[in-house]
C-alpha cells in the first residue's frame, strides 16, 4: 500500500488487478451495462489511489476499497440523474413507489440504515454496501445463510417503512 501511496504504477496495477473482479461483481449487481461498470470501477479505483494515504488500518482494506467504489457507483447514478433505488430494493421488485425514492441518495440511506437494530444494520451494510454475499456474511458473523437473508429481508421492510414515513408516501411491500 505504501508503494501505491507514492504513485508506484506497478503497485497500483497489482492492486487494481487484485480488486477488479470483486468490484466488477459488486457493480454488476447494479448495472448490466459493462461500460458503465468499468467506468465506475475506474473512477472508484482512482479515488482509492488518491486517498490511499488516508487509510488508517482500521477494519479491512477490502471493505475500505468497496466503500469507495460503491460511492463511485452512487456518484455515477447521481450524475446520470438516476435514482438510487438499488440500495434498498432489488431490481426484480416491482412494487416500489418511485416518488418516495426520488430525493433519496446515498447519505440519506446510510443515515436510515444506521437507525436499524444493530445486526440488521450490519447485515444490510455488508450485503448492500460492501457487496458481500449471504454465505460470506454468515461466515463472518457466525450465522447461517438463511439467517443473513432473514436479517436483510427485515432490514428492507423496515427501510421501506422508514422511507414511506419520512417522505409521507405509502410504499407497498
Task: Determine the topology of domain 98-166 in CATH.
Answer: Arc Repressor Mutant, subunit A (1.10.10)
Question: Measured between alpha carbons, how far is 93 from 77 in angstroms, rounded to an integer?
Answer: 19
DSSP string, 67-97: HHHHHHHHHHHHHTT---GGGTS-TT-----
Average pLDDT (3-17) is 85
Average pLDDT (100-111) is 59
Task: Determine the topology of domain 2-82 in CATH.
Answer: Rna Polymerase Sigma Factor; Chain: A (1.10.1740)
Q: How many residues does the chain have?
A: 173
CA 9 vs. chain centroid, Å, equals 27
Cell numbers linked to 91:
431490481
Cell numbers linked to 10:
506497478
Residue 105, pLDDT above cutoff 90: no
| More reliable by pLDDT, 50 or 81 | 50
User: CB–CB of 95/173 below 8 Å?
Assistant: yes
Residue 18, pLDDT above cutoff 90: yes
Question: Measured between alpha carbons, how far is 130 from 85 in angstroms, rounded to an integer?
Answer: 16
Tell me, what's the pLDDT at 81?
55
| More reliable by pLDDT, 53 or 131 | 53
Write down the domain spans for the chain.
2-82, 98-166
User: CB–CB of 129/104 below 8 Å?
Assistant: no
138 closest CA partner among 128, 129, 150:
150
Query: Helices marked H in the chain — which ranges?
Result: 2-5, 9-28, 34-51, 61-79, 98-101, 106-114, 118-124, 134-141, 145-166
User: CB–CB of 101/85 below 8 Å?
Assistant: yes
Question: Measured between alpha carbons, how far is 46 from 41 in angstroms, rounded to an integer?
Answer: 8
What lies within 8 Å, CB to CB, of 173 at 6+ separation is: 93, 95, 96, 156, 157, 160
pTM given for the model: 0.49
User: CB–CB of 164/100 below 8 Å?
Assistant: yes
Amino acid at each position: 500500500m505504501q508503494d501505491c501511496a507514492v504513485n508506484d504504477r506497478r503497485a497500483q496495477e497489482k492492486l487494481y488487478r487484485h480488486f477488479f473482479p470483486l468490484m466488477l461483481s459488486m457493480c454488476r449487481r447494479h448495472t448490466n451495462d459493462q461500460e458503465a461498470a468499468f467506468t465506475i470501477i475506474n473512477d472508484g479505483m482512482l479515488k482509492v489511489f488518491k486517498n490511499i494515504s488516508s487509510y488508517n488500518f482500521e477494519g479491512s482494506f477490502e471493505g475500505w476499497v468497496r466503500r469507495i467504489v460503491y460511492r463511485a457507483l452512487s456518484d455515477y447514478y447521481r450524475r446520470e440523474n438516476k435514482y438510487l433505488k438499488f440500495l434498498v430494493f432489488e431490481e426484480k421488485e416491482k412494487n416500489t413507489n418511485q416518488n418516495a425514492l426520488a430525493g433519496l441518495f446515498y447519505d440519506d440511506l446510510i443515515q436510515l440504515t444506521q437507525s436499524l437494530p444493530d445486526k440488521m444494520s450490519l447485515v444490510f451494510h455488508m450485503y448492500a454496501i460492501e457487496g458481500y454475499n449471504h454465505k460470506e456474511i454468515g461466515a463472518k458473523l457466525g450465522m447461517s445463510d438463511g439467517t443473513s437473508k432473514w436479517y436483510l429481508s427485515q432490514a428492507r421492510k423496515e427501510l421501506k417503512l422508514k422511507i414511506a414515513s419520512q417522505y409521507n408516501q405509502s410504499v407497498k411491500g
